Structure 1
C-alpha cells in the first residue's frame, strides 16, 4: 500500500502495476532487461505483461524468447497472434476448452427494423463458416457490379446477402420433387485450399499449431474439423518455393507470381499497415515501363491507399531483399519493413525534391 501511495496510483491501478512488474521480472526476464536498458518503453512492457499473465510458464517463456530481438518492431496485432500461438503450442487443452466454450455462444441475430426500414445484423460464427459467407457475398457483389449495379461495394454486399437468403427461400418452390416433397437442389459446398509445410515438429507431432490465412494460428484439430465438413472439396497444393523467380514479359501478373508474393509478405508492406496481401495491389518496385521485370523479386503488395501514396506522393521505397523493404517518407524518415514488423531507423531530415 505504501508503494502504491508513493507512486500516486489508485489501489486498483497500483496493484495492476505491481503485477505487471512482477510478470516482467520473473516470467519475462528478457523483456525486463530491455526495459532496464532503456530499449523498450515501460508502457509497452506493461501491455505485454497483461497479455502474457494468463499463460502457463512455458508459453510465457516462449513469448519472451520470441520478442527478445524484435520487441521494438513487433506491432500489437503480431503480438496478439504470438500469444495465441503460445497458448496453442504449450497449452492446447486450454485452447481447445476455450474454443468449445466460445462455440457454445455462437449466434446470428437480426435486430428490429429501424424507422428507415433497415436492420442491423450481428453474430458470432466459426471462422471457416464466416470465411465461406464472406466469400459468397463478395462473389455475388462483384457479379452485381458486372451486371450494371453502380452502388458501392458495401451496398452491393448488403444486396448480395439478401439474394442468398431469397435463393434459400425459393428452394422448396423451385427444386423440390412435386410427388415426394424431397429437395433435390445441390450446392457446391465448401472449397478449401490446403498448403502443407512439413517440418520436424510436424512429423513428431510436437507442434499442434496450424496457420489459417484468414485468422492466424489455430489448432490443427480445428483445421481437421473444417476439412471434415460435409461436401467439402480439399485442394492440396504442392510446396511453393518462395525463392523461385522466373520473370514474364508482360505487365500483367500471373497467378503463380501473385501467390508467391502473398505467401512471402502476408500484408501490405507500407510501414505499419496490416491489410492482408490477398486484398492488396501488387506494385512493380521498378516500374515495368522503365525495365522492371514482372517477377516476385520486383513485386510488392500494397493496399490501394498506400499504392497511391507511393505513386502520387513523395513516399519511396527500395527492396533490400525480397520481403525486406526500406521506405523513405516525404519528411525524410526511414522505415525498415520486414517479417518482424516496422522499425523507424532515424530522426527526420529535410527531403530534397530534386533527388526525385
Structure 2
C-alpha cells in the first residue's frame, strides 16, 4: 500500500449530496433495527419452547444432573432450560454472561413488560432503549413492573432521568417497605470527603448529601457568588461559588456550636445564633383516601418540584421536621390555561407554567432542564406572536441559537408537541414521550406559510 495515497473521500458509491447521505443512513438504521427486532422475536419463540416448570419437565438430563430452569428475568417471568440456554447463547455469538443478560432482558420485556415488547416489535421503540428499561425493572415486583410498563407503553420512550424517576415512583407505590429500606441505606452513606492538597494548593471535594440539604447548599453558594460579583469580585461565577464555601465555613451561620460554660466564648455565646431555615416548595397531589386494600390506586407518592423527583411520604416528613422550615403551598396550576401579557418580557408565572408543561428543552433529544432554558417565542413577538404559554417554548441556549441562526425550524402541533424540520428536510416529533423521527423526509418547511 502506498502510504502517500489518500483514501477516496467519496466512499464506494461515488459523490453524494448531504441529503442523499442522510436519507441512505436513515434507511440503513431502519433496516438494522428491523434485523434486531427479528432477533428479539426469535429469542421469545425459543424461550416459549424451552420453559421449565418442574424437574420432570426439564428439557434434558445429562450425566445424572437435572437440567433445571434458571431465572434470568424478574418475578413472574418463566424459567428457561439452563443447558439449552447455553446452546442458544453460543448460536447468538455472545459470551456466556453477556448472552444470558441479553436473553434475560428480552424475556423481561416479553413477559413482564408486554407493552414495551409490543412497542419494540411494532418499531415504535428502539430495542436498545427497551433493554435499558428491562435492566431497571428486573428488581421490581410484578405490580411495580406492570406500572412502569403501562406508563411507558403508550409513549414509546423517555429520557433516562425520567425513566429512573418513574422506576423510583413504582417502587414507592408498590413496594414501600423496600423503598424505605433503600432510602435509609442511602441516607447512611451520606458523607463529605476532602482529598489531599495538590501542588497548587487546591483541594478536590466530594459529597453525598440529602437532596434538600444539597439544594439548600447550592442555592446558598449561588446567592453568595452573585453578591460577591455585585461587590466587585471579578472572578468567574464558578470560582466565586467555590470561594463562598470557605466564607460560609468561617462564618458558621447554620449551627450554634458555642457553649456558655466556655469562658473564651461566653461573651459571644450570649449573642443569639440565627438560622435562616429552609424554604421547601412541594408540589403534592392529595387524594381523599389513603392507599389500602380497598383503594389500591390512591397516590402515596409526593413530588418535589425543585428536585423534579418522586419522594416518599417518609422523606417529606423528615424534611419538614427540620427546624425553622417554611412550607409554601401553591395553588393548582391549569397548564391548559393561556392568558397572554402585552410585553415581550416573560413574567415568572408564565415561565413556571411552561416549565411544568415541557420539563426539558424541546429540541430533538435534548435533556436540558426547562428551568435552565431560554423561552422562545414560537411566533416571533415582532411578528405578532403573543407572550403566553401557548406561544412559549423552552430551548437551551445552544438550540435556541440553532433555531434562530440556522435552518432548523419547528411548529407547535399541539400544546407540548413540536414538529421539527432539520436543514436537510428530516422531521422529528418532540413531545412528552420524547423524540421520534418521522419518515420519509419532506422538503416542505412547516414554518414557511407560503409553502
Whether the TM-score (by the shorter chain) exceeds 0.5 is yes
Distance change (3 Å), C-alpha of 1:209 and 1:103: same
Provide the rounded CA distance (Å) in 2 between the counterparts of 1:194 and 1:44. Answer: 31
Question: Does the Cα contact within 8 Å between 1:210 and 1:219 map onto a contact in 2?
Answer: yes
Provide the rounded CA distance (Å) in 2 between the counterparts of 1:42 and 1:239. Answer: 38
Q: Deviations over 1:296-315 (max 9, x none)?
A: 11111222222222222222
Which of the numbers 282, 286, 289 marks the counterpart of 1:198? 286
Shift of 1:215: 4.2
Shift of 1:172: 8.3
Provide the rounded CA distance (Å) in 2 between the counterparts of 1:340 and 1:287. Answer: 26
Which of the numbers 135, 138, 143 marks the counterpart of 1:53? 138
Superposed CA RMSD: 2.8
Q: Deviations over 1:273-332 (max 9, x none)?
A: 222222222111111122111111111122222222222222221222322222222222
Shift of 1:115: 0.5
Question: Does the Cα contact within 8 Å between 2:284 and 2:302 map onto a contact in 1?
Answer: no
Q: Does 1:68 align with 2:156?
A: no
Partner of 2:18 in structure 1?
Answer: none
Provide the rounded CA distance (Å) in 1 between the counterparts of 2:342 and 2:268. Answer: 59
Provide the rounded CA distance (Å) in 1 between the counterparts of 2:241 and 2:142. Answer: 45
Partner of 2:349 in structure 1?
Answer: 256
Residue 336 of structure 1 aligns to a residue whose secondary structure is: strand
Partner of 1:116 in structure 2?
Answer: 200
- Pairing of 1:136-175 with structure 2 (within 5 A): 136-168=220-252
Distance change (3 Å), C-alpha of 1:144 and 1:306: farther
Q: Which runs of 5+ in 2 are unaligned?
A: 1-85
Q: Does 1:44 align with 2:129?
A: yes
Shift of 1:132: 0.6
Which of the numbers 14, 21, 25 marks the counterpart of 2:106? 21
Partner of 1:101 in structure 2?
Answer: 185
Provide the rounded CA distance (Å) in 2 between the counterparts of 1:234 and 1:173. Answer: 26
Shift of 1:30: 2.4
Shift of 1:21: 2.8
Which of the numbers 288, 295, 300 marks the counterpart of 1:208? 300
Question: Does the Cα contact within 8 Å between 2:158 and 2:433 map onto a contact in 1?
Answer: yes
Shift of 1:151: 2.6
Partner of 2:338 in structure 1?
Answer: 245
Shift of 1:340: 1.5
Shift of 1:200: 5.8
When normalised by structure 2's length, the TM-score is 0.72
Which of the numbers 268, 272, 275 marks the counterpart of 1:187? 275
Provide the rounded CA distance (Å) in 1 between the counterparts of 2:143 and 2:200. Answer: 54
Partner of 1:218 in structure 2?
Answer: 311
Residue 198 of structure 1 aligns to a residue whose secondary structure is: coil
Higher mean alpha-carbon deviation, 74-83 vs 162-171, is at 162-171
Q: Deviations over 1:133-165 (max 9, x none)?
A: 011111111222222333322222212222222
Question: Does the Cα contact within 8 Å between 1:171 and 1:183 map onto a contact in 2?
Answer: no
Provide the rounded CA distance (Å) in 1 between the counterparts of 2:370 and 2:277. Answer: 26
Higher mean alpha-carbon deviation, 96-105 vs 58-67, is at 58-67
Distance change (3 Å), C-alpha of 1:65 and 1:298: same
Q: Deviations over 1:62-118 (max 9, x none)?
A: 1122222222x3222222222111111111110110010010110011111100111
When normalised by structure 1's length, the TM-score is 0.90
Distance change (3 Å), C-alpha of 1:28 and 1:205: closer
Q: Does 1:267 align with 2:360?
A: yes
Question: Does the Cα contact within 8 Å between 1:331 and 1:351 map onto a contact in 2?
Answer: no
Q: Deviations over 1:329-351 (max 9, x none)?
A: 22222122221211112244568
Residue 196 of structure 2 aligns to a residue whose secondary structure is: coil
Higher mean alpha-carbon deviation, 216-225 vs 199-208, is at 199-208
Provide the rounded CA distance (Å) in 1 between the counterparts of 2:340 and 2:119. Answer: 44
Residue 237 of structure 1 aligns to a residue whose secondary structure is: coil
Provide the rounded CA distance (Å) in 1 between the counterparts of 2:129 and 2:282. Answer: 36
Count of residues in Structure 1 that have an aligned counterpart in Structure 2: 354
Shift of 1:266: 1.6
Higher RCO (CA 8 Å, separation ≥ 6 residues) = 1
Distance change (3 Å), C-alpha of 1:80 and 1:155: same
Question: Does the Cα contact within 8 Å between 1:197 and 1:239 map onto a contact in 2?
Answer: no
Shift of 1:182: 4.0
Distance change (3 Å), C-alpha of 1:202 and 1:216: farther
